[in-house]
Amino acid sequence: MPKTTVNGINMYYEVHGEGEPLVLIMGSFGSLEAWSLQIHAFQKHYKVIVFDNRGIGRTDKSPEPYSIATMADDTVGLIDHLGIDKAHVLGMSLGGPVAHDIAINYPQRVKKLVLVCSIVGADRTHLHPDIIKALGVEEGRQEVDLRSIDFNKVMMATVYLAFNDKSLRDSLSIQAESWFKQFDIEGFVRQWEAVASYSALDRLHKIEAQTLVITGTEDRIVNPHSSEVIAGLIRNSRLVKVKGGSHAFFMEMPNRFNNEILSFLKDC
């Protein structure tokens, strides 16, 4: 299994295809296997780099608190290891802040930037009310102790909310029950604590890379308004809202998703 030591952790990664490098950064809960439909399509045109984020899958679950900046440094450390000077960078959900933090702090390393259903920071208005309810946040409370929540309940609710296709949602819910038993709750908590302490609203204007901001209009995890805010703050950006798209529309509508990404990357 390909692993390398970057930024103090052992990171699991895979490389597929040849051509310009394209780095895919997954969100919370997701290991690199979640990109299977994208790897199949993108590796025909690009060298696709996928990996398990810190705290997830086969990458180390380090004990110290996480930050978005640390996870961005993890990603840059991986492309350094692979001898890549500059790459297209795509971040999904939690991976969105990681991706735009790379674009802000390492502008010379990013060719084009893609932000998918991206979280912009800790502002709760950027999360859908349904996921706030699933987290057990009472009205009027400003904070929630993530270690006190019913982890399995939240994970199942997240799967339910992420997919709009009932047959796919039901199928994945069955698989998810066994997968969650192997999931490390501390990895989840530390990732979300990283989001809770993060905001880039005052820095997104620094992004120089040509950027595609894409979301589904029926995203029940991250409010689609978040993508509107992001696109409004990045000067060289284009916003695409996929009608009927869920938070996981990259899996539910892979042809539409993949075509939008490939068209943007190939557009001179």
> In the prediction, which pLDDT does 198 show?
87
Q: Are strands 21-25 and 87-92 parallel, antiparallel or unpaired?
A: parallel
Residue 71 phi, psi dihedral angles, 5° rounding: -70, -35
Domain 3-266: which topology? Rossmann fold (3.40.50)
Question: What mean pLDDT value characterizes the chain?
Answer: 88
Mean pLDDT by 10 residues, the chain (268 residues): 91 98 92 95 98 92 92 98 98 96 98 94 64 64 62 77 85 66 74 85 96 96 93 97 96 97 92
> Mind listing the pLDDT tens digit for each residue in 149-208?
677 777 778 888 899 988 877 777 666 666 665 567 788 788 888 887 888 999 999 999
Give me the residue label for tokens 């997968």. 179
- E-strand ranges in 7-100 read 9-16, 21-25, 47-51, 87-92
CB-CB contact of 114 with 49 (8 Å) = no
CA 183, 219, 76, 84 dihedral sign is positive
- E-strand ranges in 106-228 read 110-116, 210-216
Q: Would you mind telling me the total number of residues written for the chain in this entry?
A: 268
Residue type, 191: Q
Sheet holding 110-116, edge to edge: 3-6, 9-16, 47-51, 21-25, 87-92, 110-116, 210-216, 237-242
